[in-house]
C-alpha cells in the first residue's frame, strides 16, 4: 500500500465529510450501547459479589435454617463443643431517607477471623463500648454519614418493615481500599442483640459463619439437627447470580441487536463508498494497483473508521453506563434482591470486548464491499447503466438466496432447544435473509408505484421514482439498512407491548380481592416483613369486610437452592384468579389442599419440572417432598414461585406470620370508605400500605414499566443508531446526484420542483423501508416473545400487535428519510446550477 493510495482514500472521505461523520456516529452508538449494557451488568454483578463477600468474609461455610432462621441456642451449643472459628449473623434490611441499608448484626468478639474490613471497627472512629452495651446503636460508613449530614451520636430514623425506629450512630467505618469502601456503603452494623431486636428476630440467627476444611464440614453436616443445613459460602453467591442471569443475557442480547443495526449501517457506508468510487478504483487498477492493495485500502479505511467509532463509542458507552446502571439496579431491586451499586466498574475485559466487537463488526461489514472493490475492472468497461441492469438481474437471485437464509433461520428456531444462542443466530439469519430480499422487493414496489401513478404523477414525481429504480444498487442498500433498523425498533416495541398487555390481562384475572394490605416497607417486594397479628385481627373486625385471603411470602431452601414460597389461604373467589397451563382446576385444588404445591410457569421452566414431579423443600421438620399439582401462569417473577396451602405450610414450617392480605368486601360496601376506615384502625400499630384493586393493578403496571425502561432506552438507542446511519446513507445518495440535479435545474426544473423531487424520492425510500420493516419487525417480535423470552424466562406471552408501534415504525423511517433529504435539497435548490455543473 502506497502513501498516495492512502491519500486517495483519505481525501475521498474528507470530501464526503457528512458521510464520514455519520458512519463514525453509527459505529460509535452501536459500540456505546454494548459497552454501556456490559458495564452496567458487570458493575451490578461486582457490587453484588462485593456485598456478598463483605457479608460472608472469609467464611467457607454457613449453617442455615428455615426461613425463620436458626435458634441461637444452636450457636451456643456448637461453640460449647469447640466449633471455632464461628460467628453468628443476623441480617435484614432497613430504609432511611429513601436509601436502603443492609442491617448486619454481628458479634464483634467472634468477628476477627471472618470480616477483616469490619473487624477494623476497633480502629475506626467508634465507641465500641456503646455499640456493645447500649441497645439501638449502629455503625455506618463514613461516606453515608456525610451524605446524610449526620455525625457520631446523632439519631438515625429507620423504617424496618413499616415500623419506624430510631437508632443512634455509635461510630463510622471507612477503608483505604476503594472496593471495600464501596462494600461498606449502604451497610449498617449493629451488635447482634440490637439487630435481633430491630429485625424482630429475638433469639434467632440468620446464619452461622464458619471456616472449615472439607472433612470437618462433612463431620459437622451429620451432627446438625433436622431442618438445619450446612452450605458452602459461594453457593449463595452463585444462586444469586443465576437469578439475574436471564435478565443480564437478555439485556446483552438487546444491546447486540443495536450493534447489528450498526453493522448494517457500516456495511451500507462501505458499500456506498465503493460503488461511488468505482471509476476511481478502475483508474487505480489501470495504473497497476493490485486487487490485494484495493482490498487493503477499503478494509484499512473500514478499520480506521471502526477504530475511531469504537474509541468514541467506548467513551459514550461509559457515560451511558452511568445512566443504565441506575436502571439495571432498579430492575434488580424490583425483581430480584436488594442491591446497592454506587460505582461503575470499568474492567479491562469489558473494554477489550468493546474494541474487539467494534473493530470486528466494522471489518465483517466491510469485507463484502472490499471484495466488490477488488472486482472493479482495470478500465471501467462496464457502464453505470449496465451495472445497474446487472444488479436488477441479480436482485431476484439474491432474494431467492435471502429466502433460503431465512428458511435456515426458521429451521434453527424450530429445532427443540432451550439455549439462547441458537435463537439469536436464527434471528440474525432471518434479518440477513430479509436484507438480501430488499433490492428485489424494492424494485417491484417502485414499479408498482410507477404504474399506479402513470397518469397522475408530474415530472418531479416520476423522476423521483425513476431515480430510486435506476440507482437500485445504491438505493436498495440504504433501504435495506433502514428497514433492518426500523424492524428492530418495531420488534422491540411490539415485544414490550405484548408483554405489557399480557401482564395487564394477567393482573385483571389474578387480582380478585377488593383491597390489598401489605407492610409499608418499600424496600423490595421479595423482602417484605410480616404483618402484625393485631393488624390482621383489626382488619377482620372492620365493618364492610366480608372475607380475607392471606399470603405469606418467603424464601426457603430447596433441591434447587433458595426458592420463593408463597403460603396462601385462598377463598373460592381468589382461586378463580389462577389460570393453569394444561391441567383441570377441578383436579388441582383438592390436591393442593391435601399438600401438593403449585409452581409458576417460570419455575417449571427454570427447574424443568412438570405436574406429577416432586419438589424437595427444607422445612422446620427437615427436608420434605411435595408433589407438584399444577403449573400456573405468573408474571411476577422470572425466578418462579412455589405456592402451598396455608394449612400445609403451618404444619411444616410452624410459622403463623402473614405477609399480606386480600380483603373481600360485603356487597355494597364502598371501597374508598373502607380503605379509610382500615387505615385509621391499623395506622397506630404498623405502617401498612392499603391499596384498592385498581391501585395495585396500576402500581404493578408502573413497576412493569419501570423494569422495561431499560428495554425502551435500548430501543431508543437502536433507533438513534438507525437514524444516524439512514441519515448518512440517504444524504450521501442525494449529494452524489448534485450534478444530475444541476442538469435538471439547467434544463428548467425550478428549485421548488427539485425540492419536491428530492423530498419525494427520500420519502418514497423511507416509506418502502418502513413498509418492508413491518413483516420482519413482527417476526422479530414473535421470535423475541415465543423463543427468546420463553427460553430466557419461561413466560408465555400473547403476541399483541399495537397499531401505534407499526405506524411509529413507518413514520420513523419516513421522517429519517425526509430529514436526510433536507440539506441536499436546500443546497441544490438554493445555489445556482452553474456552480454544480462547473464543479465536475
Q: Could you list the residues that contact other proteins (CB under 8 A)?
A: 383-386, 458-459, 462-463, 466-467, 470-471, 739-740, 743-753, 830, 832-835, 837, 840
Which of 32, 248, 241 minimizes the C-alpha distance to 721? 32
Helix (H) or strand (E) holding 581: none
Query: Shortest distance, CB of residue 759 to other proteins, whole angstroms?
Result: 16
CB count in 10 Å sphere of residue 505: 15
Helix, strand, coil percentages, rounded to 5, for the chain: 65, 15, 20
**Angstrom distance (rounded) from CA 457 to CA 463:** 10
Query: Shortest distance, CB of residue 746 to other proteins, whole angstroms?
Result: 5
Which of 244, 420, 246 minimizes the C-alpha distance to 793? 246
**Angstrom distance (rounded) from CA 94 to CA 607:** 32
Q: Is 819 exposed, middle or buried (0-12, 13-18, 19+ CB in 10 A)?
A: middle
Helix (H) or strand (E) holding 86: strand 86-96
Residue 437 or 757 with smaller CB distance to other proteins? 757
Residue 371 or 837 with smaller CB distance to other proteins? 837
Which of 636, 224, 675, 270 minimizes the C-alpha distance to 474? 270
Residue 418 or 459 with smaller CB distance to other proteins? 459
Residue 216 or 388 with smaller CB distance to other proteins? 388
Which triple of cell numbers denotes residue 2?
Answer: 502506497
Residue 120 or 457 with smaller CB distance to other proteins? 457
CB count in 10 Å sphere of residue 303: 15
Residue 97 or 386 with smaller CB distance to other proteins? 386
Which of 68, 70, 139 minimizes the C-alpha distance to 103? 139
CB 350 within 8 A of CB 42: yes
Residue 142 or 462 with smaller CB distance to other proteins? 462
Long-range Cβ contacts of 669-677 (<8 Å, 24+ apart): 669/514, 669/544, 669/545, 669/546, 670/544, 671/514, 671/515, 673/544, 674/514, 674/515, 674/542, 674/543, 674/544, 674/545, 675/515, 677/542, 677/543, 677/544
Query: Shortest distance, CB of residue 420 to other proteins, whole angstroms?
Result: 46
Query: Shortest distance, CB of residue 383 to other proteins, whole angstroms?
Result: 4
Query: Shortest distance, CB of residue 285 to other proteins, whole angstroms?
Result: 19
**Angstrom distance (rounded) from CA 480 to CA 794:** 33
How does DSSP assign 482-547, residue by residue? HHHHHHHHHHHHHHHHHHHHHHHHHHHHH--SSEEEEES--S-GGGPPPBPHHHHHHHHHSTTEEE
Query: Shortest distance, CB of residue 752 to other proteins, whole angstroms?
Result: 6
Residue 222 or 385 with smaller CB distance to other proteins? 385
Query: Shortest distance, CB of residue 821 to other proteins, whole angstroms?
Result: 17
Residue 203 or 279 with smaller CB distance to other proteins? 279
Task: Phi first, then psi: give them for residue 524, nearest 5 degrees.
Answer: -170, 140
CB 824 within 8 A of CB 750: no
CB 87 within 8 A of CB 209: yes
Residue 129 or 747 with smaller CB distance to other proteins? 747
Residue 376 or 471 with smaller CB distance to other proteins? 471
Q: Is 155 exposed, middle or buried (0-12, 13-18, 19+ CB in 10 A)?
A: exposed
CB 12 within 8 A of CB 200: no
CB 88 within 8 A of CB 107: yes
**Angstrom distance (rounded) from CA 150 to CA 584:** 59
**Angstrom distance (rounded) from CA 826 to CA 838:** 19
How does DSSP assign 215-268, residue by residue? HHHHHHHHHSPTT-EEEEHHHHHHHHHHHHHHHHHHHHHHHHHHHHHHHHHHHH
Placement of cell 428456531 in the chain: 413
Alpha helices (runs of H) in 542-600, residue ranges in sequence order = 572-575, 585-593
Residue 248 or 471 with smaller CB distance to other proteins? 471
Residue 828 to residues 18, 265, 459, 825, Cα–Cα distance (Å): 16, 25, 18, 5
Query: Shortest distance, CB of residue 281 to other proteins, whole angstroms?
Result: 17
Query: Shortest distance, CB of residue 833 to other proteins, whole angstroms?
Result: 5
- The angle formed by the CA atoms of residues 755, 485 and 415, to the nearest 5 degrees, is 150
Scored b (16 or more CB within 10 A) or e, 194-226 reads bbbbbbebeebbbbbbbbbeeeeeeebeeeeee
Query: Shortest distance, CB of residue 458 to other proteins, whole angstroms?
Result: 8
Query: Shortest distance, CB of residue 470 to other proteins, whole angstroms?
Result: 4
Residue 479 or 782 with smaller CB distance to other proteins? 479
Residue 332 or 744 with smaller CB distance to other proteins? 744
Query: Shortest distance, CB of residue 747 to other proteins, whole angstroms?
Result: 6
Which triple of cell numbers denotes residue 771?
Answer: 413498509
Query: Shortest distance, CB of residue 826 to other proteins, whole angstroms?
Result: 13
Q: Is 578 exposed, middle or buried (0-12, 13-18, 19+ CB in 10 A)?
A: buried
Residue 457 or 823 with smaller CB distance to other proteins? 457
Placement of cell 435456515 in the chain: 408
Query: Shortest distance, CB of residue 385 to other proteins, whole angstroms?
Result: 3
Residue 209 or 753 with smaller CB distance to other proteins? 753
Residue 701 or 743 with smaller CB distance to other proteins? 743
Amino acid at each position: 500500500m502506497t502513501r498516495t493510495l492512502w491519500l486517495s482514500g483519505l481525501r475521498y472521505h474528507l470530501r464526503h465529510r457528512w458521510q464520514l461523520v455519520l458512519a463514525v456516529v453509527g459505529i460509535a452508538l452501536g459500540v456505546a450501547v454494548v459497552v454501556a449494557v456490559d458495564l452496567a451488568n458487570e458493575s451490578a454483578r461486582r457490587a453484588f459479589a462485593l456485598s456478598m463477600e463483605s457479608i460472608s468474609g472469609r467464611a467457607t461455610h454457613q449453617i442455615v435454617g428455615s426461613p425463620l432462621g436458626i435458634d441461637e441456642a444452636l450457636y451456643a451449643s456448637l461453640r460449647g463443643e469447640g466449633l471455632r472459628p464461628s460467628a453468628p449473623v443476623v441480617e435484614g434490611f432497613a430504609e432511611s431517607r429513601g436509601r436502603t441499608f443492609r442491617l448486619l448484626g454481628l458479634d464483634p468478639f467472634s468477628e476477627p477471623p471472618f470480616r477483616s474490613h469490619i473487624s477494623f471497627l476497633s480502629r475506626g472512629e467508634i465507641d465500641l463500648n456503646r455499640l456493645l452495651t447500649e441497645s439501638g446503636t449502629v455503625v455506618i460508613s463514613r461516606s453515608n454519614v456525610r451524605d446524610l449530614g449526620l455525625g457520631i451520636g446523632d439519631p438515625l430514623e429507620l423504617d424496618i418493615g413499616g415500623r419506624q425506629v430510631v437508632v443512634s450512630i455509635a461510630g463510622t467505618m471507612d477503608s483505604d481500599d476503594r472496593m471495600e469502601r464501596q462494600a461498606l456503603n449502604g451497610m449498617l452494623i449493629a451488635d447482634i442483640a440490637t439487630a435481633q431486636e430491630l429485625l424482630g428476630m429475638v433469639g434467632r440467627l440468620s446464619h452461622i459463619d464458619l471456616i472449615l476444611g472439607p472433612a470437618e464440614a462433612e463431620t459437622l453436616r451429620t451432627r446438625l439437627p433436622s431442618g438445619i443445613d450446612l452450605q458452602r459460602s459461594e453457593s449463595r453467591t452463585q444462586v444469586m447470580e443465576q437469578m439475574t442471569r436471564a435478565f443480564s443475557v437478555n439485556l446483552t442480547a438487546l444491546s447486540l441487536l443495536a450493534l447489528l443495526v450498526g453493522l448494517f449501517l457500516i456495511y451500507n457506508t462501505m458499500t456506498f463508498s465503493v460503488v461511488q468510487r468505482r471509476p476511481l478504483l478502475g483508474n487505480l487498477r489501470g495504473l497497476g494497483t493490485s486487487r490485494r492493495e484495493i482490498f487493503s485500502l477499503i478494509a484499512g479505511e473500514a478499520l480506521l473508521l471502526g477504530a475511531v467509532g469504537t474509541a468514541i463509542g467506548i467513551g459514550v458507552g461509559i457515560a451511558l453506563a452511568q445512566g443504565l446502571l441506575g436502571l439495571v439496579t432498579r430492575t434488580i431491586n424490583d425483581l430480584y434482591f436488594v442491591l446497592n451499586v454506587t460505582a461503575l466498574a470499568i474492567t479491562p475485559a469489558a473494554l477489550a470486548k468493546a474494541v474487539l466487537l467494534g473493530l470486528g463488526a466494522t471489518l465483517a461489514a466491510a469485507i463484502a464491499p472490499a471484495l466488490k472493490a477488488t472486482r472493479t475492472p482495470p478500465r471501467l468497461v462496464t457502464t453505470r447503466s449496465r451495472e445497474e441492469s446487472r444488479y436488477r438481474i441479480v436482485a431476484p437471485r439474491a432474494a431467492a438466496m435471502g429466502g433460503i437464509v431465512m428458511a435456515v433461520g426458521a429451521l434453527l428456531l424450530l429445532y427443540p432447544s432451550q439455549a439462547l444462542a441458537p435463537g439469536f443466530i436464527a434471528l440474525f439469519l432471518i434479518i440477513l435473509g430479509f436484507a438480501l430480499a430488499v433490492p428485489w422487493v424494492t424494485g417491484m414496489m417502485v414499479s408498482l408505484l410507477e404504474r399506479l401513478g402513470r397518469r397522475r404523477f408530474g415530472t418531479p414525481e416520476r423522476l423521483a421514482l425513476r431515480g430510486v429504480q435506476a440507482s437500485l444498487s445504491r438505493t436498495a442498500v440504504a433501504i435495506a439498512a433502514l428497514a433492518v433498523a426500523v424492524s428492530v425498533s418495531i420488534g422491540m416495541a411490539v415485544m414490550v407491548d405484548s408483554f405489557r398487555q399480557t401482564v395487564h390481562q394477567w393482573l385483571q384475572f389474578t387480582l380478585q380481592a377488593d383491597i390489598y394490605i401489605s407492610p409499608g416497607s418499600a424496600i423490595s417486594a421479595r423482602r417484605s416483613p410480616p404483618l402484625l397479628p393485631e393488624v390482621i385481627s383489626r382488619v377482620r373486625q372492620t365493618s364492610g369486610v366480608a372475607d380475607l385471603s392471606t399470603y405469606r411470602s418467603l424464601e426457603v431452601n430447596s433441591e434447587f437452592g433458595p426458592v420463593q414460597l408463597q403460603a396462601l389461604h385462598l377463598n373460592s373467589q381468589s382461586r378463580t384468579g389462577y389460570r393453569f397451563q394444561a391441567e383441570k382446576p377441578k383436579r388441582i385444588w383438592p390436591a393442593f389442599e391435601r399438600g401438593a404445591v403449585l409452581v409458576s410457569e417460570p419455575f417449571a421452566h427454570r427447574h424443568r419440572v412438570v405436574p406429577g414431579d416432586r419438589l424437595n423443600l427444607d422445612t422446620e421438620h427437615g427436608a420434605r417432598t411435595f408433589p407438584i399439582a399444577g403449573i400456573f401462569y405468573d408474571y411476577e417473577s422470572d425466578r418462579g414461585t412455589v405456592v402451598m396451602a396455608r394449612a400445609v405450610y403451618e404444619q411444616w414450617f410452624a410459622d403463623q406470620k402473614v405477609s399480606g392480605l386480600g380483603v373481600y368486601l360485603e356487597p355494597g360496601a364502598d371501597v374508598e370508605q373502607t380503605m379509610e376506615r382500615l387505615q385509621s384502625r391499623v395506622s397506630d400499630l404498623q405502617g401498612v400500605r392499603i391499596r384498592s384493586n385498581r391501585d395495585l393493578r396500576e402500581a404493578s403496571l408502573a413497576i412493569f414499566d419501570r423494569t422495561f425502561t431499560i428495554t425502551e432506552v435500548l430501543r431508543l438507542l437502536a433507533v438513534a443508531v438507525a437514524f444516524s446511519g439512514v441519515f448518512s446513507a440517504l444524504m450521501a445518495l442525494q449529494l452524489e446526484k448534485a450534478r444530475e440535479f444541476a442538469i435538471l435545474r439547467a434544463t428548467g426544473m425550478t428549485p421548488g420542483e427539485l425540492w419536491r423531487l428530492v423530498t419525494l424520492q427520500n420519502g418514497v425510500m423511507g416509506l418502502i423501508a418502513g413498509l418492508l420493516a413491518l413483516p420482519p419487525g413482527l417476526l422479530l417480535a414473535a421470535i423475541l416473545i415465543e423463543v427468546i423470552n420463553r427460553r430466557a424466562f419461561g413466560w408465555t406471552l400473547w403476541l399483541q400487535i399495537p397499531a401505534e408501534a407499526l405506524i411509529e415504525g413507518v413514520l420513523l423511517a419516513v421522517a429519517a428519510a425526509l430529514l436526510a433529504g433536507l440539506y441536499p435539497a436546500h443546497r441544490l435548490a438554493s445555489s445556482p446550477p452553474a456552480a454544480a455543473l462547473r464543479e465536475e
